[in-house]
Chains A and B, each alone.
Chain A
Amino acid sequence: MAGASEQYYVPHSSFWPIVASISLTIGLVGAAGWFNGNASGQTVLLVGLGLVTVIILGWFATVVNESVKGAYNAQVNRSFRQGMMWFIFSEVMFFGAFFGALFYSRVLVLPWLLGGDFSTHEYLWKGYGESWPTNGPGDLGGDFRSMGAWGIPALNTFLLLTSGTTITLAHWALKENDRLKTVLWMMATIALGLLFLAFQVYEYIHAYSELNLTLGSGIYGSTFFLLTGFHGMHVTLGTVMLIVITARVISGHFTPDNHFAFEGVAWYWHFVDVIWLVLFIFVYVL
Protein backbone atom coordinates (compact mmCIF):
# COMPACT_ATOMS: atom_id res chain seq x y z
CA MET A 1 0.00 0.00 0.00
CA ALA A 2 1.25 3.45 -0.89
CA GLY A 3 2.13 6.00 1.75
CA ALA A 4 -0.71 8.20 0.56
CA SER A 5 -3.17 6.11 2.49
CA GLU A 6 -2.06 7.82 5.70
CA GLN A 7 -4.27 10.74 4.72
CA TYR A 8 -7.90 10.85 3.72
CA TYR A 9 -7.95 10.55 -0.06
CA VAL A 10 -9.41 13.64 -1.75
CA PRO A 11 -9.35 13.32 -5.54
CA HIS A 12 -8.12 16.51 -7.14
CA SER A 13 -10.52 17.17 -9.94
CA SER A 14 -12.72 15.07 -12.13
CA PHE A 15 -14.60 15.40 -15.38
CA TRP A 16 -16.89 12.45 -14.67
CA PRO A 17 -19.57 14.29 -12.68
CA ILE A 18 -20.16 17.08 -15.19
CA VAL A 19 -20.21 14.67 -18.12
CA ALA A 20 -22.56 12.44 -16.14
CA SER A 21 -24.92 15.37 -15.50
CA ILE A 22 -24.95 16.29 -19.19
CA SER A 23 -25.58 12.70 -20.31
CA LEU A 24 -28.32 12.22 -17.75
CA THR A 25 -30.00 15.39 -18.99
CA ILE A 26 -29.72 14.27 -22.62
CA GLY A 27 -31.35 10.97 -21.69
CA LEU A 28 -34.18 12.67 -19.82
CA VAL A 29 -34.80 15.21 -22.61
CA GLY A 30 -35.04 12.24 -24.96
CA ALA A 31 -37.44 10.43 -22.65
CA ALA A 32 -39.61 13.53 -22.27
CA GLY A 33 -39.67 14.01 -26.04
CA TRP A 34 -40.58 10.38 -26.50
CA PHE A 35 -43.49 10.72 -24.02
CA ASN A 36 -44.65 13.79 -25.93
CA GLY A 37 -44.63 11.76 -29.14
CA ASN A 38 -41.62 13.34 -30.82
CA ALA A 39 -40.10 11.15 -33.51
CA SER A 40 -36.53 11.72 -32.35
CA GLY A 41 -37.23 11.22 -28.63
CA GLN A 42 -36.38 7.55 -28.49
CA THR A 43 -33.09 8.04 -30.32
CA VAL A 44 -32.04 10.84 -27.98
CA LEU A 45 -33.02 8.71 -24.98
CA LEU A 46 -30.88 5.83 -26.24
CA VAL A 47 -27.94 8.15 -26.88
CA GLY A 48 -28.29 9.52 -23.34
CA LEU A 49 -28.53 6.06 -21.82
CA GLY A 50 -25.52 4.92 -23.82
CA LEU A 51 -23.50 7.88 -22.61
CA VAL A 52 -24.59 7.31 -19.02
CA THR A 53 -23.49 3.67 -19.29
CA VAL A 54 -20.10 4.63 -20.66
CA ILE A 55 -19.63 7.21 -17.94
CA ILE A 56 -20.66 4.87 -15.14
CA LEU A 57 -18.12 2.37 -16.47
CA GLY A 58 -15.43 5.04 -16.72
CA TRP A 59 -16.15 6.59 -13.35
CA PHE A 60 -16.18 3.22 -11.62
CA ALA A 61 -13.02 2.20 -13.47
CA THR A 62 -11.35 5.29 -12.00
CA VAL A 63 -12.49 4.33 -8.52
CA VAL A 64 -11.43 0.70 -8.97
CA ASN A 65 -8.08 1.90 -10.23
CA GLU A 66 -7.57 4.11 -7.20
CA SER A 67 -8.64 1.30 -4.92
CA VAL A 68 -6.23 -1.19 -6.50
CA LYS A 69 -3.39 1.33 -6.21
CA GLY A 70 -4.11 1.55 -2.51
CA ALA A 71 -5.26 5.14 -2.31
CA TYR A 72 -8.08 4.33 0.09
CA ASN A 73 -7.40 3.93 3.76
CA ALA A 74 -9.74 2.45 6.35
CA GLN A 75 -11.52 5.76 6.85
CA VAL A 76 -12.30 6.14 3.13
CA ASN A 77 -13.53 2.57 3.23
CA ARG A 78 -15.91 3.47 6.04
CA SER A 79 -17.24 6.41 4.02
CA PHE A 80 -18.05 4.06 1.16
CA ARG A 81 -19.79 1.60 3.46
CA GLN A 82 -21.91 4.22 5.14
CA GLY A 83 -22.69 5.87 1.81
CA MET A 84 -23.90 2.56 0.39
CA MET A 85 -26.10 1.91 3.43
CA TRP A 86 -27.78 5.30 3.19
CA PHE A 87 -28.23 4.83 -0.54
CA ILE A 88 -30.03 1.53 0.10
CA PHE A 89 -32.17 3.28 2.70
CA SER A 90 -33.23 5.83 0.07
CA GLU A 91 -34.13 2.95 -2.25
CA VAL A 92 -36.25 1.40 0.49
CA MET A 93 -38.16 4.67 0.80
CA PHE A 94 -38.66 4.75 -2.97
CA PHE A 95 -40.34 1.35 -2.85
CA GLY A 96 -42.20 2.59 0.22
CA ALA A 97 -44.07 5.09 -1.96
CA PHE A 98 -45.40 2.32 -4.20
CA PHE A 99 -46.24 -0.03 -1.33
CA GLY A 100 -47.97 2.93 0.31
CA ALA A 101 -50.05 3.41 -2.84
CA LEU A 102 -50.95 -0.30 -2.82
CA PHE A 103 -52.02 -0.31 0.84
CA TYR A 104 -53.90 2.98 0.56
CA SER A 105 -55.82 1.75 -2.47
CA ARG A 106 -56.72 -1.59 -0.95
CA VAL A 107 -57.43 -0.57 2.62
CA LEU A 108 -59.02 2.85 2.16
CA VAL A 109 -59.96 3.64 -1.44
CA LEU A 110 -61.71 0.38 -2.27
CA PRO A 111 -64.13 0.46 0.71
CA TRP A 112 -64.88 4.10 -0.10
CA LEU A 113 -65.63 3.27 -3.71
CA LEU A 114 -67.88 0.45 -2.53
CA GLY A 115 -69.94 2.85 -0.43
CA GLY A 116 -68.68 2.53 3.12
CA ASP A 117 -70.10 5.34 5.18
CA PHE A 118 -70.65 7.65 2.27
CA SER A 119 -73.62 8.08 -0.01
CA THR A 120 -71.50 9.31 -2.91
CA HIS A 121 -71.34 5.71 -4.07
CA GLU A 122 -75.05 5.86 -4.86
CA TYR A 123 -74.59 8.74 -7.27
CA LEU A 124 -71.19 8.07 -8.77
CA TRP A 125 -70.54 4.35 -8.91
CA LYS A 126 -73.89 2.67 -8.41
CA GLY A 127 -73.68 -1.06 -9.02
CA TYR A 128 -69.92 -1.25 -8.48
CA GLY A 129 -69.25 -4.12 -6.10
CA GLU A 130 -65.88 -5.65 -6.88
CA SER A 131 -63.32 -6.69 -4.33
CA TRP A 132 -59.55 -6.74 -4.78
CA PRO A 133 -58.12 -7.31 -7.41
CA THR A 134 -60.04 -4.59 -9.18
CA ASN A 135 -59.66 -2.32 -12.16
CA GLY A 136 -62.10 0.15 -10.66
CA PRO A 137 -65.69 1.15 -11.27
CA GLY A 138 -64.78 2.28 -14.80
CA ASP A 139 -63.63 -1.29 -15.61
CA LEU A 140 -60.49 0.22 -17.15
CA GLY A 141 -58.66 -2.06 -19.54
CA GLY A 142 -61.56 -4.53 -19.60
CA ASP A 143 -61.91 -7.87 -17.80
CA PHE A 144 -58.65 -9.36 -16.59
CA ARG A 145 -57.42 -12.16 -14.39
CA SER A 146 -54.96 -11.44 -11.58
CA MET A 147 -51.57 -13.11 -11.32
CA GLY A 148 -51.58 -16.26 -9.20
CA ALA A 149 -49.00 -16.59 -6.47
CA TRP A 150 -48.13 -20.28 -6.41
CA GLY A 151 -46.78 -20.82 -9.91
CA ILE A 152 -43.86 -18.83 -11.25
CA PRO A 153 -43.88 -16.17 -8.46
CA ALA A 154 -43.35 -18.85 -5.78
CA LEU A 155 -40.59 -20.38 -7.88
CA ASN A 156 -39.04 -16.94 -8.25
CA THR A 157 -39.18 -16.44 -4.50
CA PHE A 158 -37.31 -19.69 -4.11
CA LEU A 159 -34.73 -18.62 -6.71
CA LEU A 160 -34.04 -15.24 -5.09
CA LEU A 161 -33.83 -16.65 -1.57
CA THR A 162 -31.41 -19.29 -2.80
CA SER A 163 -29.32 -16.61 -4.49
CA GLY A 164 -29.15 -14.82 -1.14
CA THR A 165 -27.60 -17.98 0.28
CA THR A 166 -25.17 -18.52 -2.57
CA ILE A 167 -23.84 -14.96 -2.38
CA THR A 168 -23.27 -15.45 1.35
CA LEU A 169 -21.40 -18.68 0.60
CA ALA A 170 -19.32 -16.75 -1.94
CA HIS A 171 -18.60 -14.13 0.72
CA TRP A 172 -17.44 -16.81 3.17
CA ALA A 173 -15.22 -18.32 0.51
CA LEU A 174 -13.76 -14.88 -0.19
CA LYS A 175 -13.01 -14.44 3.49
CA GLU A 176 -11.16 -17.78 3.40
CA ASN A 177 -9.25 -16.52 0.36
CA ASP A 178 -10.59 -19.39 -1.74
CA ARG A 179 -10.91 -17.67 -5.10
CA LEU A 180 -12.19 -20.63 -7.09
CA LYS A 181 -14.96 -21.33 -4.63
CA THR A 182 -15.89 -17.63 -4.52
CA VAL A 183 -16.16 -17.46 -8.30
CA LEU A 184 -18.25 -20.62 -8.47
CA TRP A 185 -20.74 -19.41 -5.87
CA MET A 186 -20.87 -16.02 -7.62
CA MET A 187 -21.59 -17.75 -10.92
CA ALA A 188 -24.42 -19.61 -9.21
CA THR A 189 -25.80 -16.32 -7.84
CA ILE A 190 -25.65 -14.69 -11.26
CA ALA A 191 -27.36 -17.67 -12.85
CA LEU A 192 -30.16 -17.54 -10.29
CA GLY A 193 -30.57 -13.80 -10.89
CA LEU A 194 -30.76 -14.29 -14.65
CA LEU A 195 -33.21 -17.15 -14.26
CA PHE A 196 -35.39 -14.96 -12.05
CA LEU A 197 -35.38 -12.24 -14.70
CA ALA A 198 -36.22 -14.71 -17.47
CA PHE A 199 -39.22 -15.98 -15.51
CA GLN A 200 -40.28 -12.41 -14.83
CA VAL A 201 -40.22 -11.62 -18.56
CA TYR A 202 -42.23 -14.79 -19.23
CA GLU A 203 -44.74 -13.73 -16.55
CA TYR A 204 -45.21 -10.32 -18.17
CA ILE A 205 -45.82 -11.89 -21.58
CA HIS A 206 -48.26 -14.28 -19.96
CA ALA A 207 -50.05 -11.35 -18.25
CA TYR A 208 -50.39 -9.33 -21.43
CA SER A 209 -51.25 -12.13 -23.86
CA GLU A 210 -53.38 -14.48 -21.74
CA LEU A 211 -54.68 -12.70 -18.65
CA ASN A 212 -55.41 -9.32 -20.30
CA LEU A 213 -53.54 -7.88 -17.32
CA THR A 214 -51.84 -4.66 -18.47
CA LEU A 215 -50.58 -1.35 -17.11
CA GLY A 216 -54.02 -0.03 -18.00
CA SER A 217 -55.89 -2.57 -15.85
CA GLY A 218 -56.93 -0.07 -13.23
CA ILE A 219 -55.25 0.16 -9.85
CA TYR A 220 -54.38 -3.55 -9.74
CA GLY A 221 -52.48 -3.36 -13.01
CA SER A 222 -50.84 -0.08 -11.98
CA THR A 223 -49.53 -1.31 -8.65
CA PHE A 224 -48.68 -4.77 -9.98
CA PHE A 225 -46.56 -3.57 -12.88
CA LEU A 226 -44.89 -0.64 -11.17
CA LEU A 227 -43.90 -2.65 -8.09
CA THR A 228 -42.72 -5.74 -9.97
CA GLY A 229 -41.28 -3.57 -12.76
CA PHE A 230 -39.16 -1.39 -10.50
CA HIS A 231 -38.10 -4.50 -8.59
CA GLY A 232 -37.13 -6.17 -11.86
CA MET A 233 -35.08 -3.12 -12.85
CA HIS A 234 -33.25 -3.34 -9.54
CA VAL A 235 -32.60 -7.07 -10.03
CA THR A 236 -31.22 -6.28 -13.48
CA LEU A 237 -28.92 -3.64 -12.07
CA GLY A 238 -27.97 -5.99 -9.23
CA THR A 239 -27.12 -8.76 -11.69
CA VAL A 240 -24.87 -6.41 -13.67
CA MET A 241 -23.18 -5.47 -10.42
CA LEU A 242 -22.74 -9.16 -9.56
CA ILE A 243 -21.08 -9.76 -12.93
CA VAL A 244 -18.69 -6.84 -12.44
CA ILE A 245 -17.82 -8.02 -8.96
CA THR A 246 -17.20 -11.56 -10.16
CA ALA A 247 -14.83 -10.21 -12.79
CA ARG A 248 -13.03 -8.32 -10.07
CA VAL A 249 -12.80 -11.44 -7.92
CA ILE A 250 -11.23 -13.22 -10.90
CA SER A 251 -8.77 -10.34 -11.32
CA GLY A 252 -7.82 -10.70 -7.68
CA HIS A 253 -8.90 -7.23 -6.57
CA PHE A 254 -10.16 -8.36 -3.20
CA THR A 255 -8.41 -9.53 -0.09
CA PRO A 256 -10.10 -11.44 2.75
CA ASP A 257 -10.34 -8.27 4.83
CA ASN A 258 -10.60 -5.55 2.18
CA HIS A 259 -13.46 -6.02 -0.25
CA PHE A 260 -15.95 -3.20 0.22
CA ALA A 261 -17.21 -3.40 -3.38
CA PHE A 262 -18.13 -7.05 -2.90
CA GLU A 263 -19.96 -6.33 0.33
CA GLY A 264 -21.74 -3.32 -1.14
CA VAL A 265 -23.09 -5.45 -3.97
CA ALA A 266 -24.05 -8.21 -1.54
CA TRP A 267 -25.99 -5.75 0.62
CA TYR A 268 -27.74 -4.47 -2.49
CA TRP A 269 -28.60 -8.02 -3.51
CA HIS A 270 -30.07 -8.77 -0.08
CA PHE A 271 -32.08 -5.55 -0.28
CA VAL A 272 -33.53 -6.64 -3.63
CA ASP A 273 -34.28 -9.99 -2.00
CA VAL A 274 -36.14 -8.49 0.94
CA ILE A 275 -38.17 -6.18 -1.29
CA TRP A 276 -39.20 -9.24 -3.29
CA LEU A 277 -40.36 -11.06 -0.16
CA VAL A 278 -42.58 -8.13 0.84
CA LEU A 279 -43.76 -7.89 -2.75
CA PHE A 280 -44.53 -11.59 -2.94
CA ILE A 281 -46.67 -11.42 0.19
CA PHE A 282 -48.59 -8.23 -0.57
CA VAL A 283 -48.79 -8.25 -4.36
CA TYR A 284 -49.15 -11.95 -5.10
CA VAL A 285 -50.34 -13.87 -2.03
CA LEU A 286 -52.71 -11.52 -0.24
Chain B
Amino acid sequence: MSTAEDVIVEPGTARKYHTGSWRSKKPVVDKEKCINCLFCWMFCPDNSIIVEGGEMKGIKYTHCKGCGICSRQCPKDAITMVEEGEE
Protein backbone atom coordinates (compact mmCIF):
# COMPACT_ATOMS: atom_id res chain seq x y z
CA MET B 1 0.00 0.00 0.00
CA SER B 2 3.02 2.30 0.54
CA THR B 3 2.59 4.78 -2.31
CA ALA B 4 -0.73 3.42 -3.52
CA GLU B 5 -2.66 6.00 -1.54
CA ASP B 6 -1.90 9.66 -1.11
CA VAL B 7 -0.13 9.14 2.18
CA ILE B 8 3.53 9.93 2.74
CA VAL B 9 5.04 7.13 4.74
CA GLU B 10 8.40 8.67 5.53
CA PRO B 11 8.43 11.81 7.70
CA GLY B 12 10.64 14.85 7.14
CA THR B 13 11.55 13.92 3.58
CA ALA B 14 11.25 17.54 2.46
CA ARG B 15 14.85 17.90 3.67
CA LYS B 16 15.86 16.21 0.43
CA TYR B 17 14.65 19.31 -1.40
CA HIS B 18 17.42 21.90 -1.23
CA THR B 19 15.82 25.31 -1.20
CA GLY B 20 19.25 26.93 -0.93
CA SER B 21 19.23 27.22 -4.71
CA TRP B 22 16.45 29.83 -4.44
CA ARG B 23 18.83 32.28 -2.75
CA SER B 24 20.05 35.48 -4.37
CA LYS B 25 21.45 37.00 -1.19
CA LYS B 26 23.38 35.09 1.38
CA PRO B 27 23.57 35.64 5.15
CA VAL B 28 27.15 35.70 6.47
CA VAL B 29 27.76 35.51 10.21
CA ASP B 30 30.45 37.34 12.12
CA LYS B 31 30.84 35.10 15.17
CA GLU B 32 32.95 37.81 16.84
CA LYS B 33 29.78 39.87 17.23
CA CYS B 34 27.36 36.98 17.94
CA ILE B 35 26.08 36.67 21.51
CA ASN B 36 24.15 33.42 20.90
CA CYS B 37 20.78 34.98 21.71
CA LEU B 38 19.35 32.63 19.06
CA PHE B 39 16.82 35.18 17.81
CA CYS B 40 17.99 34.17 14.33
CA TRP B 41 17.02 30.58 15.12
CA MET B 42 13.65 31.58 16.54
CA PHE B 43 12.75 33.66 13.48
CA CYS B 44 14.28 31.58 10.68
CA PRO B 45 11.41 30.24 8.53
CA ASP B 46 13.60 27.49 7.11
CA ASN B 47 15.30 25.79 10.05
CA SER B 48 18.56 27.00 8.60
CA ILE B 49 20.33 28.27 11.68
CA ILE B 50 22.68 25.62 13.00
CA VAL B 51 22.58 25.43 16.79
CA GLU B 52 24.69 23.07 18.85
CA GLY B 53 24.84 23.07 22.62
CA GLY B 54 22.98 26.36 22.80
CA GLU B 55 25.40 28.12 20.46
CA MET B 56 24.74 29.51 17.02
CA LYS B 57 27.21 27.64 14.82
CA GLY B 58 26.38 28.96 11.38
CA ILE B 59 23.89 28.75 8.55
CA LYS B 60 22.62 25.72 6.68
CA TYR B 61 23.15 26.98 3.16
CA THR B 62 21.59 23.88 1.63
CA HIS B 63 18.19 25.19 2.71
CA CYS B 64 18.56 28.91 3.54
CA LYS B 65 16.41 30.87 1.04
CA GLY B 66 18.21 34.13 1.81
CA CYS B 67 15.13 35.95 3.12
CA GLY B 68 17.25 38.14 5.40
CA ILE B 69 15.04 37.89 8.51
CA CYS B 70 17.99 36.66 10.61
CA SER B 71 20.08 39.63 9.55
CA ARG B 72 17.27 42.10 10.27
CA GLN B 73 16.48 40.57 13.66
CA CYS B 74 20.06 40.17 14.92
CA PRO B 75 20.44 42.62 17.85
CA LYS B 76 24.22 42.79 17.29
CA ASP B 77 24.24 43.15 13.49
CA ALA B 78 26.32 40.00 13.36
CA ILE B 79 24.66 38.71 10.18
CA THR B 80 25.23 40.53 6.89
CA MET B 81 23.44 39.84 3.63
CA VAL B 82 25.81 39.68 0.69
CA GLU B 83 25.11 39.05 -2.98
CA GLU B 84 25.33 35.35 -3.70
CA GLY B 85 28.81 34.57 -5.06
CA GLU B 86 30.36 37.84 -3.79
CA GLU B 87 31.33 36.87 -0.26
Q: Is A bound to B? A: no
Give the B-binding residues of A (Cβ under 8 A): none
